[in-house]
Structure 1
Amino acid sequence: MGIVIKQSFINTLILFLGFAIGGLNVLFLYTHFLEEDYFGLITFLLSTANILMPLLVFGMQHTIIKFYSSYKTLKEQDSFLVSTLLLPLFVIIPLAFIGTYFYNSIANWLSVENPLIKNYTYLIFIVAVFMGYFEVFYSWTKVQFKSIFGNFIKEIFARVCTSFLLFAVYLNWLSNDEFIYGVVIVYGLRTLIMKLYAFYVYRPKFIFKLPQNLKEILSFSGYIIIAGSASGVLLEIDKFMIPQMEQIAQVAYYSVGVYIASVIAIPTRAMQQITTPITAKEMNENNMVEVEDLYKKTSLNLLIIGGLLFLLINLNITDLYAIINKPEFTNGIWIVFIISITKLVELSLGTGNAILVNSKYYKIYFYLSIAMALSVIFLNKWFIQLIGINGAALATFIVVFMYSFIKIMYINAKIKVQPFGLNTLKVLLSITLIYVVFYFWNFNFHPIINILLNSCFIIVLYIVVVNKLNISNDLKELVLKFVRKN
C-alpha cells in the first residue's frame, strides 16, 4: 500500500484544493456573477459532453489501463499507445459529419424547453473531444504510475481559469455569452498541457502497427464505451433531463447541492488514480492475494475518510447555505443529504469496479452499466415529475445502492473476494452515532464561526472513536507519522 498511500495522499490534497477552488466558483462566483440561466447552461453543456465523451474516444482511456501492462516488450507497448491515439478518429470523424448534417434537428430537440441551449449545441461535441483526449493522455501517465501532475491539471487548472473568467464577467470584461466560449477554450488548453506532459513522461516511437490482440482490444473497448457512456448517464443524466422538464435555472440549484455532496467522493477519486493501474497489473499477473488485500483496504479506508466528510458536510449544511446567502439555492439541502449517502455507498466499493473491468468478467460491467443507465433514466423521469429536483437525487441513490450491492455479490461469487468485515460495521455505527448526537447540537453565532466550532468537535470525536476502535492500521500509521513530523 506504500505507493498507493503516498500518491493517494498527494492526490487527495490536490482534489481538496481543486474542490475548494471549485466550491468558491460554484457556491459564490457562479451564483453571484453569472446569470442563473447561463449557470444552468454551462452545467448542461459540460454534463452532456461527459456523457458523449467515452463514445468519441472509443473507451481508450480504460483500454490503456487494462492492456498496457500485459505487453512485455517496449515495441509492443509503443505500438499499442500510438493505436490508442488513432483509433478514436474512426469514431470522431464520421460522427462529426453526421452531427453537422443533422445539427438543426439535434439542436431543436435539445432546446424545446429552453431555447437558450440551441445556439450552443455544437460546443457539446467540441468539449467532448477535448475531454476524451485529455483522459487518454492522462491514462498514458497513470500506467507509468505518474498520476499527480495530471490530477493537478484536471482538478485545479480548469477551475482556476474558470475563476478568472467569472471575475472577468463580474468586471464586464466578458459577457455571459463570451464566458461560455472561454470555458471551452480552457478545456482545449487543458488537453494540450496533458498531451505535452504525457510525451514528457514517456514518448513512444511513432510506428503505427496494429496490436496482435486487436480483436480483444476492440471487443473490450466496444463494451467499455457503452458501459462508460452508461456510467456517464448515471452521473450526468439528471443535469441533462432537468432542463427537459424544468426551467434551466433549476439545474443551477441542483448542481450546487450535488457539488457540495461530491466532496465526499474526493478520497475515492484520489485513490483510483493509482489503485486502478495497480489492480490491472495484479489482475494481469493473476496475483489475487494482492487484489483482495487492496480491495478490502481501499473499501475500509475510503469509508472512514468519506464518513468524516459526510458528517462535516451534513452537520454544517444549514450554515453553509446561510453563507451562500441565496435563498433560492436552499432547494438543494435535501439533495446534499441524499447524494452524500450515495457517495458513501460508492466509497464502500473500494476497487470493486477496477476488479470487474480488469477481469475476464468485464462484460458484466457493460450489462450492469446499461441496466443502471436505463433505471436512472426511468426513475428520473418519474421522480422529477413527482417531487422536482429532489427526485433526481433520489433516483441516483436508489440506482447506485441497488447496483453496488449486485456488483459486490457478483465479485464475491465469481472471484471469491468481498470488501467488508467487522470494521466496516464499526465505521457505519460510528458515523450514525456521531450524526445523531450533533444533529441536535446548534451554535448561535455567525455561520462561519458555527461551522468552525462544529467541525472541530466533529473531527476530534471522530478521530478518537476510530482510533479507540482500532479500525484501520493504515490510517492510524499515517496519522502517527504526521503527528511525529509536527
Structure 2
Amino acid sequence: MGIVLSQSIRNTLILILGFTIGGINTILLYTKFLSDEYYGLIIFLLSTSVLLLPLLVFGMQHSVVKYFSSYKTKQDQDSLLTWSLIIPLLVIIPLGIFGGLAYETIAKFLSVKNELIKDYTYLIFFTAIFMGYFEVFYSWAKVQMNSVFGSFIKEIFVRIGVTVLLFCVYFKWLNPEEFIYGVVSLYFARMLVMLVYALSIYRPTLTFTKPKNFVEILRYSMYLILAGSAGSILLEIDKFMIPQVEELANLAFYGVAVFIASTVAIPNRAMQQITNPITAKDLNENELRKVKTLYKQSSINLLVVGGLLFLLINLNINDIYKIIGEGQYAIAISVVLIISCSELYKLALGTNGAILTNSKYYRMFFYFSLGMAGTVIVLNHFLIRLLGINGAAWATLMTVVVFSTIKVLYLKRKLKMQPFAKETIYIIAVITAIFGIFYFVDFPFISIVNIGLKSAVVILLYVIIVYKLRISKDVNELINQVIKK
C-alpha cells in the first residue's frame, strides 16, 4: 500500500483543500453573490455536461487506464494514446452537427419549466467536450502513476477561478450572464493545463497505426460509454430532473446540500486516482492475491476516514446552515444526511468498481450501471413529485444500497473476494455510537465556535477508539508516524 497510501494522502489533502474552497463558494459566496435562479442554472448546466461527457469521449479515458500497462512497447502505448484523441472526435463532430440543426427543439425541451435555461443550452455541449478531454489527458498521467497534479488541477483550479469570478460579480465587474461564460472558460483552461502537464511527463509520438487489439478496445470503450453514462446518470440525473418539475431555486437548495454531503466521498475520490491503475495492472498480470488484499484494505481505510467526515458533517449540520444564513436553504437539511449515507455505503465497497471495470467481467459493470440508471430515473420521476428534493435524495440512497450490494455479491461469486471483515463491523458500530451520542448535543455559542468545539471532541474520541481497536493497520501506522514526529 506504499504508493497507494502516499498518493492517496496527498490526493486527500488536495481534495480537502478543494472542498474547502468549494465550500466557501457554495455556502458563503454563491448564496450571497448570485441569485438562487442563476445558481440553479449553473448547477444544471454543469450536471447536464457531466451526463453528456461519457458519450463525447467514447470512454477512452477508461481504455487508456485499462490497456496502457498491458502494452510492452512504446509504439503500442503511443498508438493507444493517439487514438484516445481521435476516437472522441468521431463522436463530437457528427453530434455537434446534429445539435446545431436541432438546437431550437432541444433548447425548448430543456426550458419548459425554466425559460432561463434556453439561452445557455449550447454551453452544455462545449463544457462536456472540455471536461471529457481533461479526463483523457488526466488518464495519460495516471498510467504513469502520477495522479497528484491532475487531482490538484481537477479539484482546485476551477474552484479558485469560480471564487474570483464570484467576487467580480459582487463588485459588479461581471453580470450573472458573463459569470456563466466565465465558468465555462475555466473548464477550457483546465483542459489545456492538463494537456501540457501530461505531455511534460510522457510525450507520445502521434501515429495513426491502430493498436493491436483495436477492436477489443472499441468494444470495451463502448461498454464503458454506456456504463459511464449510467454512472453519470446516478450522480447527476437528479439535478437534471429537478428543474423539469421544480423551480431553479430549489435546485440551488438541493445543490448546496449535495455538495455538503459529498464531502464524505473525498477519501474515495482521492484513493481511486491511484488504485484504479494499480488494480488494472495487477489484473493484467493475474495477481489476484494483490487485488484481493487491496480490495479489503481500501474498504477499511475508506470507511475509517469517510466515517469521520460523515460524523463531522451531520453532527454540525444545523450550525453549518446557520452560517449559510438563508432560511430557504435549510429546507434541504435532511438531504445532507440521506446523501451522506449513500456516500458512506459506497466507501465500504473499496476498489469494487475498479475490479469490475478492469477485469474480464467488465461487461457486467455495464449491466449493473444500466440497471442503476434505469432505477434512479424511475424513482426520481415519482419521488420528486411526491417528496420534492428529498425524494431525489431518497432515490439516490435506495439505488446505491441495492446495486452496490449486488456488485459485492457478484464479485464474491466470480472472483472469490469481498471487501468486508470483522473490522467493518467495528467501524460501523463506532460511527453509529458516536452519531447517537452527539446528535442531540448542542453548544450555546455562535455557530463557528460550536462547530469547532464539537468537531474537536468528536475527532479526539473517534481517533482514540479507532486506534485502540486497531481497525486499520495503515491508519494506525500513520498515527504512529505522527506521534513520533
TM-score w.r.t. length of structure 2: 1.00
Tell me the alpha carbon deviations over residues 295-318 of structure 1, each in whole angstroms, 9 at most, x when there is no partner. 000001000111111110000000
Distance 2:238 2:78 in 1: 40
Secondary structure of the residue aligned to 2:237 is helix
Secondary structure of the residue aligned to 1:87 is helix
Q: Counterpart of 1:103?
A: 103
Distance 2:289 2:255 in 1: 41
Secondary structure of the residue aligned to 1:208 is coil
Distance 1:11 1:125 in 2: 29
Q: Counterpart of 1:6?
A: 6
Which residue identity does 1:340 align to in structure 2?
S
Distance 1:12 1:125 in 2: 30
Secondary structure of the residue aligned to 1:295 is helix
Q: Counterpart of 2:32?
A: 32
Distance 1:372 1:308 in 2: 28
Distance 2:438 2:320 in 1: 16
After TM superposition, the structure 1 stretch with the greater mean CA deviation from structure 2, 465-474 or 106-115, is: 465-474
Map residues 48-447 of structure 1 onto 2, 5 A cutoff: 48-447=48-447
Tell me the alpha carbon deviations over residues 19-77 of structure 1, each in whole angstroms, 9 at most, x when there is no partner. 00000001111000001111000000000000000100000110101110011111110
Distance 2:304 2:32 in 1: 35
Distance 2:377 2:185 in 1: 31
How far is 1:483 from its partner?
2.1
Distance 1:187 1:264 in 2: 24
How far is 1:409 from its partner?
0.1
Secondary structure of the residue aligned to 1:145 is coil
How far is 1:331 from its partner?
1.1
Secondary structure of the residue aligned to 2:121 is helix
How far is 1:464 from its partner?
1.1
Which residue identity does 2:98 align to in structure 1?
I
Distance 2:369 2:17 in 1: 31
Distance 1:314 1:88 in 2: 41
Tell me the alpha carbon deviations over residues 95-131 of structure 1, each in whole angstroms, 9 at most, x when there is no partner. 0000001000000000000000000000000000000
Q: Counterpart of 1:458?
A: 458
Distance 1:182 1:440 in 2: 43
Distance 2:173 2:378 in 1: 43
Give the unaligned 5+ runs of structure 1: none
Q: Counterpart of 1:482?
A: 482
Distance 1:185 1:473 in 2: 44
Tell me the alpha carbon deviations over residues 419-478 of structure 1, each in whole angstroms, 9 at most, x when there is no partner. 101000000000000111111211111111110000011001101111111111110001
Q: Counterpart of 1:473?
A: 473
Distance 1:124 1:482 in 2: 46
Distance 1:473 1:195 in 2: 37
Tell me the alpha carbon deviations over residues 379-402 of structure 1, each in whole angstroms, 9 at most, x when there is no partner. 001110001000000000000000
Which residue identity does 2:114 align to in structure 1?
N
How far is 1:207 from its partner?
1.9
Where in structure 1 do 4 or more consecutive aligned residues deviate above 2 Å? none
Distance 1:481 1:14 in 2: 21
Distance 2:367 2:115 in 1: 35
TM-score w.r.t. length of structure 1: 0.99
Distance 1:437 1:468 in 2: 19
Secondary structure of the residue aligned to 1:291 is helix
Secondary structure of the residue aligned to 1:88 is helix
Secondary structure of the residue aligned to 1:212 is coil
Which residue identity does 1:405 align to in structure 2?
T
Q: Tell me how large the CA RMSD over aligned residues is.
A: 0.5
Which residue identity does 1:37 align to in structure 2?
E
Which residue identity does 1:122 align to in structure 2?
Y
Secondary structure of the residue aligned to 2:212 is coil
Distance 2:324 2:118 in 1: 31
Give the unaligned 5+ runs of structure 2: none
Distance 1:359 1:50 in 2: 25
Secondary structure of the residue aligned to 2:476 is helix
Q: Counterpart of 1:22?
A: 22
Distance 1:482 1:182 in 2: 42
Distance 1:3 1:69 in 2: 17
How far is 1:480 from its partner?
1.1
Distance 2:393 2:144 in 1: 37
Distance 2:305 2:149 in 1: 23
Which residue identity does 1:149 align to in structure 2?
F
Tell me the alpha carbon deviations over residues 204-239 of structure 1, each in whole angstroms, 9 at most, x when there is no partner. 111221111011001000000011011000000000
Count residues in correspondence.
485
Distance 2:484 2:255 in 1: 40
Tell me the alpha carbon deviations over residues 187-209 of structure 1, each in whole angstroms, 9 at most, x when there is no partner. 00000000000000100111221
Distance 1:355 1:168 in 2: 45
Which residue identity does 1:482 align to in structure 2?
V
Which residue identity does 1:136 align to in structure 2?
V
Distance 1:207 1:375 in 2: 42
